[in-house]
Amino acid sequence: MIGLAQHLINGIVIGGTYAMMGVGLTLVFGVMGLVNFAHGEAYMVAAFLLYTGAQLLNLPYLAGFALALAGSAVLAYLWERGALRRLYDKPEEAGLLATIGLSVLLQNLALLIWGGTPKSIPDPIPVSSISLGPLQITPARLLIVLIALAVILGLAWWMQKTRLGKAVRATFQDREIAAANGVDVRKVYSLVFIGGSLLTALAGVLLAPIFVVTPNMGVGVTNKSFVIGIVGGLGNFTGAVIAGLVIGITESLTAAYFGGEVQDAVGFLIAIVIMLLRPRWLSAGV
Amino acid sequence: MRQWLKVALPVILVIVYPLVLPSSYAMHLGVMTALWVLLATSMNLMIGHIGLISLGQTAFFGLGAFGAGLLSVKLGLPWPLTLPAGILVAMLGAGLIGLVTLRLRGAYYVLGSLGLAEVLRATALNWVDFTGGPMGLGGISPIRINLGPWHYALNERGHYYLVWAIALLLLLVVYRLLHSYVGRGWLGLAVNERLASSVGINWQVSAMGTLLVSALLAGVAGAFYAHYITFVSPEVFGITYTIQMIIMVLVGGRRTFVGPILGALVFTLLPELLRVTDQFRMIILGTLTIIVVLFMPRGLVPWLKSLRKTEGGKGAMP
């Protein structure tokens, strides 16, 4: 029983980050209509930037953290400005294909720059666990949950209450009418793309010390984010959050009782079943 | 006269290549090129003709490979039996996969197709007793000729001729199919689905047909691959293969017949000529994809054609 609760807690920790990744992808799809195949690479690049800062340049952790996020934002901006922007008026598959190319490019660049051996980043906070009754959680993981929670709630508040947030929602609902009402759709697109990438980058930075860092770790993130997006409904913010948590918890439980390799496949199976059973719910976001 | 040349030229090139470059390695390259030509054409049928980005296309390659391989290893069947059997497995799989995925559209189809390929990969990785797990399926019998007085194993050049004979034959069949009444109906769907449907071209049937033919091509490649390498790893279900297929089709020119072939040739042979390492090859592939999508969205072949400036506006087919 205690084991179960422990797995639940671990699942929530992972689920929080999954929620962030999922929201990043689903917003980009919902607002921009882009299936971003290079989504996971934002996670990977951020993790590697953190590694570079913390291990190679020996910067204090917070500096590495800032470097990772800033670097990710800059790269996202450059990509959106230089490449994605030209594709908005083309059929939606153009974006998909371009991001496939980007994904391949980034993975192999990372391989070239940092090499393929898995890297590890030491925990920034001393590892001794905190006990909540019979359950254990490390301060690092607790912090991850808190940060994820804060970011998601903050984002939700921002989208509801601020002018720019409302502009984003308006663009999501109807791009042309929003433009007719004075919303600068190009800026919204830029913002959403960079924001989505940053959310994923944040997840990458938070999880990097827990898992090892490899150039192709982004692929699993992309797969997972797609599953989360589909389960929650592509374009559906709340759906992605809930799906992220649910999948995080499910994974934690199945990994504990069934063993690791099948997670991606199981996730996809669930996504496919959902896609087949509930077309109406999904097209609400499309 | 021109028509005859279109058929003769590839055949001549295929025959001449081993005479010009007889080394064992050049033969190996030749074999891989043939396989990639089949795979690229198979992907083009999906992306270019019916308009579905089949991110799980390598599933059919893998099914062909494992199908043939397993029959060879577990039942000891010889290659003349396992090759067709592998193809059947791939096509059967395509039929089943199609029943599921063809109900989905757009982004959902893409992800569904990818998902099923991943499921196959996970199955191959974990069913260790059956497929050998991460260590793959080894000990597949190589291709031997056992006909009357002739008994020998094929050497590199033999494999080369065999695979190209099969490939050219299949390409001819596909070409005729695409230019047939049925094939033009499929093209009509890709160009304007509503209009095509309004004259009675059924999308579901055409999509399944395209899927099955593409699975045939990929399955042939897979089955041959199994016997050629005598080893199949679960990674045949991995997305790396699919991505390379996509790049070949994109760069060569989707919706043209020659485009994917050109793409396959370029991407298999060029890195060897330039002597680049694997990493650089993938970096170039990725960058090229982006550039092509941005600036040459129809690919190389249409771009080259536009340079020729012949009597304007021929149809989408070469």
A84-98, A235-249, A263-277, B21-35: least confidently modelled range: A263-277
- Of the listed ranges A191-200, B31-40, B144-153, the least confidently predicted one is B144-153
Say how far apart CA A61 and CA A58 lie, in whole Å: 9
Of the CA atoms within 13 Å of residue B125, those in its CB half-sphere come to 17
* Residue contact A269–B119, C-beta within 8 A: yes
Start-to-end CA distance of chain A, whole Å, equals 41
What was the pLDDT predicted at B309?
60
Q: Is the pTM of this model over 0.90?
A: no
Contact across the interface for B110 and A35, Cβ inside 8 Å:
yes
Instruction: Give the pLDDT confidence score for residue A193 in this predicted structure.
Output: 93
Are the beta carbons of B108 and A90 separated by less than 8 Å? no
B118 contacts on A by Cβ (under 8 Å): 223, 264-265, 268
A84-98, B112-126, B301-315: the lowest-pLDDT one: B301-315
Between the two ends of chain B, the Cα-to-Cα distance in Å is 16
> What is the average pLDDT across B6-31?
83
Backbone angles phi, psi at A119, to 5 degrees: -105, 150
- The pLDDT value given to residue A286: 31
pLDDT band at residue A23 using 50, 70 and 90 as cut-offs: very high
Predicted confidence band of residue A285 (pLDDT cuts 50, 70, 90)? very low
Count the Cβ atoms, other than its own, within 10 Å of residue B199.
8
**B297 neighbourhood in chain A, CB within 8 Å:** 90, 94
Percent of chain A surpassing pLDDT 70: 89
Q: How far is A160 from chain B (nearest CA, A)?
A: 28
Mean pLDDT of chain B: 84
For the ranges A5-9, A55-59, A231-235, the lowest mean pLDDT is seen at: A55-59
pLDDT > 70 fraction of chain B, expressed in percent and rounded: 92
Q: Which residue has the tokens 């890195």?
A: B271
B73 close to B139: Cβ distance less than 8 angstroms: yes
pLDDT, greater one: A274 or A69: A69
What is the rounded CA–CA span in Å between residue A237 and residue B207? Answer: 33
Three-state DSSP state, B277: coil
Q: Inform me whether the pLDDT recorded for B54 exceeds 50.
A: yes
Count Cβ atoms within 10 A of the Cβ of residue A16 and give its class: 0-12 exposed, 13-18 middle, 19 or more buried.
Answer: buried
Nearest-Cα residue of chain B relative to residue A82: B294
Which among B53, B112, B289 has CB closest to A93? B53
Dihedral pair phi/psi, residue A132, rounded to 5°: -110, 90
Nearest to B226 by CA among B135, B121, B139: B139
Task: Note the pLDDT tens digit of each residue in A65-119.
Answer: 888 999 999 999 999 998 888 888 787 778 888 998 899 999 999 988 988 888 8
Read off the pLDDT of each residue in A137-165 and give the average, rounded to a whole number: 86
When pLDDT is cut at 50, 70 and 90, the band that residue A282 belongs to is: very low
B136 phi-psi bin (left φ>0, alpha ψ -120 to 50, beta other): left
pLDDT reading at B230 higher than 60: yes
Encode B23-54 in three state secondary structure: CHHHHHHHHHHHHHHHHHHHHHHHHHHHCCCC
Which DSSP state fits B151? E
Dihedral sign computed on CA atoms, order B79, B245, A27, A280: negative
Per-residue pLDDT, averaged over A152-170, amounts to 88
Task: Rank A98-102, A271-275, B139-143, B191-195 by mean pLDDT and report only the highest.
Answer: A98-102
Nearest to B25 by CA among B141, B142, B160, B163: B160
pLDDT tens-digit readout, A32-54: 888 899 999 999 999 999 888 88
Q: Report whether pLDDT(A283) > 50.
A: no
Contact B283 A108 (CB under 8 A): yes
Chain A residues with beta carbon closer than 8 angstroms to that of B114: 223, 226, 268
Q: Considering CB atoms only, which of B126, B246, B250 is closest to A261?
A: B126
pLDDT at res. B110: 86
The answer to whether residue A179 scores a pLDDT higher than 60 is yes
Q: How confident is the model at residue B236 (pLDDT cuts 50, 70, 90)?
A: confident
Question: Which DSSP letter does residue B149 get?
Answer: T
pLDDT classification of A209: cutoffs 50, 70, 90: confident
Question: What mean pLDDT do residues A188-196 have?
Answer: 92
Residue A284 has pLDDT above 80, yes or no: no
pLDDT, average across residues A190-195: 92
User: Would you place residue B59 in the very low, low, confident or very high pLDDT band (cuts 50, 70, 90)?
Assistant: very high
Is residue B1's pLDDT more than 60?
no
Considering only CB atoms, A234 lies closest to which of B107, B246, B285, namely B107
Q: Is the pLDDT of residue B217 over 90?
A: yes
pLDDT at B315 over 60: no
- The residue assigned the tokens 């095509």 is B196
State yes or no: pLDDT of B304 exceeds 90.
Answer: no
Q: What is the pLDDT of residues B253-287, one digit of tens each?
A: 887 888 899 889 888 887 776 666 666 878 888 88
Residue A66's Cβ-side half-sphere holds a number of Cα atoms within 13 Å equal to: 5
**Gyration radius from chain A CA atoms:** 19
Overall average pLDDT of the B203-216 stretch: 91
Q: In terms of pLDDT, which residue wins out, B39 or B28? A: B39
pLDDT at A120 over 90: no
How much of chain B, in percent, has pLDDT values that exceed 90?
Answer: 22
Structure tokens at A87: 């594709």
Query: What is the per-residue pLDDT for B310?
Result: 54
Angle value at C-alpha B79, between B78 and B82, nearest 5 degrees? 90
The pLDDT value recorded for residue A105 is 92
